[in-house]
A = this chain, B = another copy of it.
């Protein structure tokens, strides 16, 4: 089963609108066990739309083509005209739908603009798809594989006898409603073998190291399961398994996790901060932060999770040396001798903030985010993380990048991951 998606709109190409519709369509199809084969984004242009419909049929041999956008009432909405031309169809005015539309507008206390008459038509050859949340109806056509070339090609592959083309609105709610109520049921009926998908989320390890550790598993299963690596940010990599064999996926997940256990923090949509939050909640631990270069980013992340007041006590953003001394009681001698960005300062910050805020865990972050402020001995990207937990203090030193934003965000991820590892490995828990 091959599915193609066409999204139409200049605003998508110029990037003013991020194409979330097609991501949603991809996820929805995957939930039902289907994959998108190809996606094309094009301008509101007659011949571009026509050619792309044709290539989905002829070149990509899609059984299902889902088109979004260009069904609105204004001049740049031309998808319907292209469909009419492509399927050699004509539309007629739909009185019944026109009165429904008029009634809807009246209920909203709007006068019905004549412009909307464009939306009150009925196709002769295709099927109209009802719009439960807006005005523009969708279109559904089927096309038979009747040309000799196509038939032979398809017959040889044992493929289906016809292809379906759906035109849906670009407005997210309207598209989603039609997908759920009309398109998906048709696709699901035709589906023979389902695809299942599982992600193993890792952090603190580059993708190449992960692959090395499981390369034999990938190789052995390459015909039955697709195993891919998805790096998010710099140090988080998902290992994603996709297959149509539901039993196999369980076995494979177990063997992969067996090999890379120490990097695994969760599955599918688990978030690192949620995992850390659960570790703290389950063990009745509280945490406090003293942040310098990340200036609140860690605190913000720790409190992204609803109910965070159960474990998060608070924190201090001690940007200057003065505040490290005044607010977190770092010894002036330590600052003078070792500097703010040092193991020693990180240690005192972590220990003192835990004590001051009466928390079991104290975290400190001090570093040089850049772009300025680096020296030969302490270059941009040098960061110390301190974790005080019960009677121990763990210090991590990182040499990150020249980029300010990356350094700040990466530090938060690395730090969360260290907390996770310490709590998971702690015998006291």
Residues of A with Cβ closer than 8 Å to B?
A: 10-20, 22-30, 35-44, 48, 51, 55, 59, 72-76, 105, 107-108, 110, 113-116, 133, 171, 173, 197, 199, 205-209, 211-212, 215, 218, 226, 228-231, 238, 240, 242, 289, 291, 294-300, 302-304, 306-309, 312-320, 323, 327, 357, 370-373, 399, 401, 403-406, 408
Contact = CB atoms under 8 A, between A and B. Distances in A.
Contacts of A22: 15, 19, 41
Contacts of A107: 399
Contacts of A205: 110
Contact of A35 (B13, B206, B295, B319): B13
Contact of A15 (B25, B42, B405): B25
A29 B13 CA distance: 10
A304 B199 CA distance: 32
Given A211-B115, A296-B291, A307-B372, A11 B240 contact: yes
| Max count, chain B CB within 10 A of own CB: residue among A11, A26, A317 | A317
A40 B41 contact: yes
A30 B11 CA distance: 11
Contact of A208 (B115, B289, B399): B115
A27 B42 contact: no
Contact of A230 (B16, B40, B294, B317): B16
B372 A133 contact: no
Given A133-B403, A323-B357, A15 B27 contact: yes
A34 to B, nearest CB: 10
8 contacts: A16-B26, A38-B43, A38-B48, A55-B55, A74-B207, A113-B209, A113-B212, A307-B372
A300 B294 contact: yes
Given A44-B228, A74-B208, 5 more contacts: A14-B197, A16-B199, A19-B22, A297-B300, A303-B319
A300 B291 CA distance: 10
How many subunits of this chain does the assembly comprise?
A: 2
A314 B17 CA distance: 33
B11 A15 contact: no
Contacts of A37: 13, 43
A75 B218 contact: yes
A12 B133 CA distance: 28
Contacts of A10: 35, 226, 228, 242
A13 B39 contact: yes
| Max count, chain B CB within 10 A of own CB: residue among A13, A38, A113, A320 | A13
Contact of A229 (B35, B76, B208): B76
Contacts of A59: 51, 55
A55 to B, nearest CB: 7
Given A25-B15, A173-B403, A309-B320, A209 B240 contact: no
Contacts of A405: 304
Given A18-B23, A208-B116, A317 B314 contact: yes
A15 B38 CA distance: 12
Contacts of A316: 314-317, 327
Given A37-B43, A73-B207, A76-B229, A319 B314 contact: yes
| Max count, chain B CB within 10 A of own CB: residue among A20, A207, A403 | A207
Q: Which 10 A-B pairs have the closest CB atoms?
A: A296-B296, A15-B26, A296-B299, A15-B23, A295-B303, A15-B27, A39-B41, A315-B317, A13-B36, A296-B300
Contacts of A48: 38
A295 B296 contact: yes
Nearest to A205: B110
A313 B304 contact: no
A324 B319 CA distance: 20
Nearest to A301: B296
A242 B13 CA distance: 13
B73 A211 contact: yes
B230 A11 contact: yes
